[in-house]
Amino acid sequence: SVMHKCTVDRAAAGLLALGLTKGDRLGMWGPNTYEWILFQFATAKAGIILVSVNPVYQLQEAEFALRKVGCKAIVCPEQFKTQKYCNMLRQICPEIESSTPGDIKSARLPDLRSVIVLDNRQPGMLHFEDVMEAGSSQYVQQLQDLQKTISFDDPINIQFTSGTTGAPKGATLSHFNIVNNAYYVGKRLYILSPHPRICLPVPLYHCFGSVGGGMCMAVHGISLVFPSAGYDGKANIAALESERCTFIYGTPTMYVDMISQPDLAKYDLSSVETGIMAGSPCPPELVKKVISAMGIKGITIGYGTTENSPVTFCADPLDNIQRKSETVGFIMDHLEVKVVNPTTGEVVPLGELGEIMIRGYCVMLEYWGDQAKTEECITKSGWYKTGDIGSLDAYSYCRIEGRIKDMLIRGGENIYPAEIEQFLHTHPKVKEAQVVGVKDFRMGEEVCACIKLADGEKCTAEEIKAYCKGQVIPSLIFRAADLVPKQRIRQNQTLNLRLLQFTSSQQDNPLSVHSVSETQGPLIQIRIIQIL
């Protein structure tokens, strides 16, 4: 589909006709679709704040997000896969069923007035076509007048953080944040192909997709290819071939899935010149495997946070393999970075570890409705505290060693999980590895590596022990540990065990193997290993 200015203007005018005004919040709740991008630009033109709602949110999470920011309208499909969006909204707001479309009055979501459904018409809800038809010339003129009052510093988007350490926080981003980030990301990434065809499997509800995809499309004139509405590793590969994509975005997990496709070799990926891997820590060994298996020599690494809209570091596609696999690249143009001692706040010398802090156009406005949390992470002089531990070299290339909150203290010794994880990823049988802390009476905290094996592989504790000997920690002793309930295993559809708290048990017993069913997908086996 081609998105024309007049279509965006009609959608924006239609929203004004529904009674939305500058500063109101509209929630987008669903998978990657053309309409997601359309409303991204329509809301921006009308001064309406787009609220990116995670498409896998269930009742409690969705209600919290929509109520937190006071959404006046919600856009969603009736259903996608097992997610029944309209049914969930009716459970939160039973008043919808008997309401006049556009005039909902809900006890639990008091700001909500309109639900706009993208596919099948529903009682009490507006349809997408109703919005487009409502945008008459009267409201187009109102839109044009309104745009004279919109400032580059006005909020444009609210992105919810994952909430792994508490309730999700609404990172509030401005036009200035997002447009500049998209501009400089494109300047850094698209040097091999000025007008790339981008395969975009990453979700639009996240900055990686909406800024790196939707906004870059407008700023740099790129083409976006959605391989599937919901994530599908095989569909990614198929789209690269059929659409002759020249660039691909993905998280490390997505690249793992792509290179693990048993029939990968049959696909013609010769058009793919480069891509970016970001969204979570990128093991150096995985970067090398992607280059080898998919032939993407220009693959590069990026780093950032939602609060920084999002990219702050990115490698050059022409950088050597060492820089692209062992660092997250160098600081983006016109941003400032410093590394400080997290206790004293003093800047540390180059090469030494400390907390990474960022200042510049990328730093969010605030956490919506939470001044205290905002002041915790943004200093009075405008520096954003990332909470990440890392170091800088003389050329501003950055190495990330982990989160301050993830840092383990074993008998007074600081241990950074990322170092151990990166080494474990070099084992040919290891698909994913994450390291967490285990409470221990004597040492205070022990180190626990959680390993997900590659499909069809078998591995013993002795094999891992022998592989690690003399490499990461002087000695390894394997003990059993209790696994937390399976519902805490998955965060945003990826294996995310680092934030889990394990409790040591049966400490004198040998390694035990636990099988845990994922929410979706095949059974996974996680081997629990304590590293002493």
Q: What is the pLDDT of the chain when averaged over all its residues? A: 86
Residue 342: how many other CB atoms lie within 10 Å: 16
What distance in Å separates the CA atoms of residue 501 and residue 513, rounded to the nearest whole number? 18
pLDDT at res. 441: 59
- Omega into 310 within 30° of 0, i.e. cis? yes
502 Cβ contact list (under 8 Å, min separation 6): 436, 437, 438, 439, 448, 481, 482, 483, 484, 528
What distance in Å separates the CA atoms of residue 415 and residue 405, rounded to the nearest whole number? 11
262 Cβ contact list (under 8 Å, min separation 6): none
411 Cβ contact list (under 8 Å, min separation 6): 442, 443, 444
Residue stretches of the chain with pLDDT short of 70 = 1-2, 162-166, 409, 411-414, 440-443, 470-532
Joined together, the tokens standing for residue 219 give: 């700023």
What distance in Å separates the CA atoms of residue 164 and residue 449, rounded to the nearest whole number? 19
What distance in Å separates the CA atoms of residue 65 and residue 117, rounded to the nearest whole number? 19
Helices (H), 103-251: 128-134, 137-147, 175-189, 207-209, 216-220, 233-242
pLDDT at res. 412: 64
The position carrying tokens 């970001």 is 278
What distance in Å separates the CA atoms of residue 436 and residue 419, rounded to the nearest whole number? 12
Helix/strand/coil percent split, the chain, to 5? 30, 25, 40
Joined together, the tokens standing for residue 249 give: 């975005």
Phi and psi angles of residue 184, each rounded to the nearest 5 degrees, phi first: -75, -30
pLDDT at res. 467: 84
Length of the chain: 532
- Give, as one character, the DSSP assignment of residue 247: E
* One-letter identity of residue 447: V
* One-letter identity of residue 316: D
Residue 23 zone, left/alpha/beta (φ > 0; ψ -120 to 50; rest)? left
489 Cβ contact list (under 8 Å, min separation 6): 495, 496, 497, 500, 516, 518
What distance in Å separates the CA atoms of residue 64 and residue 54, rounded to the nearest whole number? 12
Closest residue by Cα to residue 253 from 317, 202, 312: 202
pLDDT at res. 276: 97
- Give, as one character, the DSSP assignment of residue 504: B
Task: Judge contact between 370 and 320, C-beta under 8 A.
Answer: no
pLDDT at res. 514: 31
pLDDT at res. 147: 93
- Residue 262: Cβ-neighbour burial (10 angstroms; 0-12, 13-18, 19+): exposed
Closest residue by Cα to residue 16 from 107, 121, 135: 135
Own/partner contacts of 302-306, CB < 8 Å, gap of 24 or more, are 302/185, 302/276, 302/277, 302/278, 302/328, 302/329, 303/278, 303/328, 303/329, 303/398, 303/400, 304/207, 304/278, 304/362, 305/384, 305/386, 306/159, 306/161, 306/171, 306/206, 306/207, 306/364
The position carrying tokens 């390694």 is 511
**Pairing status of strand 430-440 against strand 444-453:** antiparallel
The position carrying tokens 């990328």 is 362
Closest residue by Cα to residue 182 from 209, 216, 214, 205: 216
Could you report the per-residue pLDDT of 44-97, keeping only the tens digit for each?
999 999 999 999 999 999 999 999 999 999 999 999 999 999 999 999 999 999
457 Cβ contact list (under 8 Å, min separation 6): 429, 431
What distance in Å separates the CA atoms of residue 304 and residue 188, rounded to the nearest whole number? 14
Closest residue by Cα to residue 498 from 424, 427, 407: 407
What distance in Å separates the CA atoms of residue 448 and residue 438, rounded to the nearest whole number? 6
Vertex 159 angle, CA 343 and 404, to 5°: 20
Does pTM surpass 0.75?
yes
Task: Judge contact between 158 and 178, C-beta under 8 A.
Answer: no
What distance in Å separates the CA atoms of residue 334 and residue 362, rounded to the nearest whole number? 10
